[in-house]
Structure 1
Amino acid sequence: MTRLVLSLTTIPPRFPIVGENLSHLLEQTAEIESINLYVARKYKRFEYEMSELPEVPDSVNLRVIDEDLGPATKVLPAAQEYKGQDVQILFCDDDKLYDVNWAQRYVDASKKHPNCCICEEGGHLDAPHYANDGWQGAKAPRAGFIEKDLTYRLKRAASLGQWKPSKANRPGYVDILEGWGGVLVKPDFFDEACYNIPDVLWTVDDVWLSGCLERKGIPIWLNTEKKIRSLGHKNEVKDAALRNLIYSGHDRIAANRACIEYFREAHGIWGGKVVSK
């Protein structure tokens, strides 16, 4: 029987508050074998003492690992730990609160799409914050998204920003998974090359992981059935949030595009062509 493991990471500024999110994960209705929190001994952006490691609920496993892989630490160490096993890994953010049926929805969706990566938030490469160059993936049907037109903006304004629906309005394939909504994968989806993340690109795990899957021909299915939007930015610690980071002159959009260009040039995916040497 396929086992289900929940996997996530955190950073030192959130060590004191990550317990609330972990406690919510323990309330899931799905049958979960293990909840693993992966913490690096040394971080690229932060310093801490081992005495400051987060306190976790008794049913959560704290895994202290040697290498900080950036936000991809939420899944890549788990993929390595469970490689070759009949396991599904559901990874997520540590600053969101997920409804109690969240994990079960992924299990159900994976039965309908057994050879896919499953997500509930995602996007297409031609979105403004990704390549924004008109490239279209060939996998069909493609997921559909609401248009942020005048009607949308008026509703947002009338609700004083409280009305914020999920951007996806039709299930289908996407080019980019967005990990904050949760992502279900199998350990063997990731090969050794996925762990060799170039500088700058480690800051944009969504594009990096999506490129790794595309390179291996693994489709990303966006599920909308019975979906409940997760609560955003719970205990985010804004000063530490990657979405606000400018690293080596790259903000989030610039880093996304650098990552896309890397995969186009190095692996010929997403409309790129590998140049023979």
Structure 2
Amino acid sequence: MGLIRAMLVVSLTSIPPRFGNLRQLVGSLKAQSRPPDRIIVTIPEHYRRFPGHWRPPDIAGVTVFRPETDYGPAGKALGAMQVMDGQVCQILYCDDDWRFGPDWIAGFLATAAARPPNEVIAASGFDIDRLGLISTHPPQKPGQSTSRYVDIAQGFGGVLVQSRWLNAIATPPPDIAWPVDDIWLSAHFAKVGLKIWMAGHLRQGAQPLPDPNSLQASTIDGQNRAAANRAAAEYLSKRYDIWR
């Protein structure tokens, strides 16, 4: 009997200024050499940053999840968790302002198959000492391989996780972590002892799309992205006794 292929879900969230990107992004996902079994796009009924009621574009072959709560950018992971509702699968979450080359998914799956089973796989990441906290990883030296352990998994190039790792996240991010999903999700991984393996070659499969209203360049509650990252990291470090 052959091996049963694990279900692979690609998950993302989107904001109204980027709805125009979705067809191109989803098209790149459907054209993968190993296509996803399901694509989930989380579009909240009401946005925290964009007043009014927004209707997502109609894109065939996509599950659109419409929660009442705006999870912020963490919706890329939390939406799939709710839709799959405990089903065992792999979830590859990503941002809505990138498109992906044809072997992007296959690259993640091949990397995961070659690594220990309880590792998060990310295309990009960094260590928490960048935010003034304590990393257990040695500093990266010039010319060092881009494949190594990191503290923070950055979602833009893709992050591959097992669904059960997200099921333990029972609540939306607190206000202090709402705009900085990479910090918040990585804190949950650290809390339960999951290592994050950054496979730098996977980033080559990601190409940026137009990025209007980026949180990266926005000021939220009087803080820029760097300050929000530091504040959330310090809060989560104390709350979960990590990065100390």
**1:124 alignment partner, one of 106, 117, 127:** 127
Larger radius of gyration: 1
For structure 1, the residue ranges without an aligned partner over 5 or more in a row are 148-167, 272-277
Identity between Structure 1 and Structure 2 (%): 31
AA partner of residue 216 (structure 1)? V
Residue of structure 2 equivalent to 1:215? 191
1:28 maps onto 2:32 in alignment = yes
Counterpart for residue 265 of structure 1: 238
Instruction: Identify which of 73, 80, 89 aligns with 1:87.
Output: 89
Secondary structure of residue in 2 paired with 1:80:
helix
Which amino acid in 2 is paired with 1:242?
A: L
Partner of 2:211: 236
Separation in structure 1 between the aligned mates of residue 151 and residue 52 of structure 2, nearest angstrom: 36
Number of aligned residue pairs: give it.
239
Higher strand content, 1 or 2: 2
CA distance in 1, matches of 2:241, 2:52: 40
Helix, strand or coil: the match of 1:255? helix
Match of 1:55 in 2: 58
Q: Is the Cα–Cα contact under 8 Å of residues 12 and 48 in structure 1 kept in the other structure?
A: no
TM-score normalised according to structure 2 size = 0.90
Amino acid at match of 1:230: A
Task: Give per-residue Cα distances to partners, 1:168-212, cap 9 Å, x unaligned.
Answer: 833121000010010001121125545242113110001110001
Contact kept in structure 1, 2:29 and 2:36, CA below 8 Å: no
The amino acid across from 1:85 in the alignment is Q
Which of 71, 74, 81 is the equivalent residue of 1:72? Answer: 74
* Contact kept? 1:143, 1:172, Cα under 8 Å: no
Deviations 1:240-267 (A, max 9, x none): 1101111122111111111111122111
Q: TM-score, normalization: structure 1?
A: 0.80
Per-residue deviation at 1:143? 8.7
- 1:3 — aligned with what? 7
Q: Give the residue type in structure 1 aligned to 2:111.
A: A
Following TM superposition, the consecutive aligned residue runs of length 4 or more in structure 1 with deviations greater than 4 angstroms are 142-147, 191-194
1:16 is aligned to 20
Structure 1 partner of 2:163: 187
For the residue of structure 1 that corresponds to 2:204, the secondary structure is coil
- Paired residues of 1:143 and 1:173 also in contact (CA < 8 A): no
SS of the aligned residue for 1:179 comes to strand
User: Counterparts of 1:30-179 in structure 2 under 5 Å?
Assistant: 30-50=34-54, 52-56=55-59, 58-113=60-115, 114-127=117-130, 131-132=131-132, 135-137=134-136, 144=140, 146=142, 169-179=145-155
Are 1:9 and 1:39, in contact at CA under 8 Å, matched by a contact in 2?
yes
Pairwise CA distance, 1:86: 2.4
